[in-house]
Amino acid sequence: MNATLGPAVVKIDAASGNEEKLELDPARLAAGSPMPEQFVRNAYTDASGRFFAGIWRSSVGAWRVTYTENEFCFLTAGRLRITDDHGRQWTYGPGDTFVMPAGFCGLWEVLEPAQKYYAIYEPPSS
């Protein structure tokens, strides 16, 4: 940040940041699921280190999730099914927007190779 000019607007696209390969813990993988290939292109992290925004993509696979953060998602490609620990299900496709709230536990399934824009806020631990 330039102290004279203040912060600049951050564009998030396929050229933003550096794409990094994510490694999913095999213990989180659903029975019978292939190990998905996942990549993240984080374009923005605020000064507190608690807010992030960028692009995520994944091949087909299913794994357990436990959210400590709040995540806004805008799906641009593919299909997802999310099932909570109570059996409720939500299915999303390109153009769908949703929020994964902190405290959500369940199964995240990529049914077709998927890509999303994300904005994540990690609240302070209490």
User: End-to-end distance of the chain based on CA atoms, in angstroms?
Assistant: 30
9 located within any domain: no
Total structural domains within the chain: 1
Please state the pTM of the whole predicted model: 0.92
The yes-or-no verdict on residue 86 having pLDDT over 60 is yes
Structural domain boundaries, residue 115: 29-121
pLDDT at residue 125 in the model:
82
As a whole number, mean pLDDT of residues 33-52 equals 97
pLDDT at residue 6 in the model:
87
Share of the chain above pLDDT 90, in %: 91
45 located within any domain: yes
The yes-or-no verdict on residue 26 having pLDDT over 60 is yes
18 located within any domain: no
The yes-or-no verdict on residue 31 having pLDDT over 70 is yes
Structure confidence by residue, pLDDT tens digits, 64-80: 999 999 999 999 999 99
CATH number, position 84: 2.60.120.10
As a whole number, mean pLDDT of residues 22-29 equals 97
CB < 8 Å & 24+ apart, contacts of 13-17: 13/43, 13/55, 14/41, 14/55, 16/41, 16/43, 16/54, 16/55, 17/41, 17/42, 17/43, 17/44, 17/54
